[in-house]
Structures are given as C-alpha cells and as structure tokens.
C-alpha cells in the first residue's frame, strides 16, 4: 500500500490516466480501496465489482461508494 500511495503522490498532479475508464473485479478490501483511490488520483473513472462475497469488507465498499465510485459489492 505504501507503493500505491507514493505513486498517487508522485504522479497524481500529472493525471496520466485522465480519460481512462477502468472497471475492476477484485476482492473488495481495504487494500483494494487504496488501489481504487490511487486510480482515481491518477485521473481514471472507476467502477468496481467484488469477485467474492465472502471476502468483501462492507466498510471498505461503503467508503468507496460514499466517494461517488459505483461499487457492486456486499457481504
């Protein structure tokens, strides 16, 4: 996670993913939330789906959804 946070800090102002539309399907955990926030910081539009309801962390999905990202994940 520190690597993702550093990428967002270093490249966020450059917006290298501006205009990119990314749909992801991965376990919805806190670590995934950091990945999603990094993609957004780099300029991407993100939509996310959980690949496994048993690994979904509802609080992580709720935090990402509250920031305006479409999230299809619940336990």
Residue 17 lies in a domain: no
Give which of 67, 69, 56, 1 is closest to 26, Cα–Cα. 56
The secondary structure of 30-56 as a DSSP string is HHHHHHHHHHHHTT-EEEEE-S-TTT-
Question: By residue range, what is the domain housing residue 53?
Answer: 22-75
Intervals of the chain under pLDDT 70: none
* pLDDT score, position 2: 93
Residue 61 lies in a domain: yes
Q: How many domains does the chain have?
A: 1
pLDDT, one tens digit per residue, over 48-62 is 999 998 999 999 999
Give the pTM.
0.93
* pLDDT score, position 59: 96
* pLDDT score, position 65: 96
Residue 44 lies in a domain: yes
The average confidence (pLDDT) of the chain is 96
Residue 14 lies in a domain: no
């Amino acid at each position: 996670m520190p690597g993702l946070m550093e990428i967002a800090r270093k490249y966020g102002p450059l917006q290298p993913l501006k205009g990119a539309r990314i749909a992801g399907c991965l376990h919805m955990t806190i670590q995934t939330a950091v990945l999603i926030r990094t993609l957004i910081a780099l300029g991407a539009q993100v939509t996310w789906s959980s690949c496994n309801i048993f690994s979904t962390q509802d609080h992580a999905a709720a935090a990402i959804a509250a920031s305006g990202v479409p999230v299809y994940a619940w336990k």
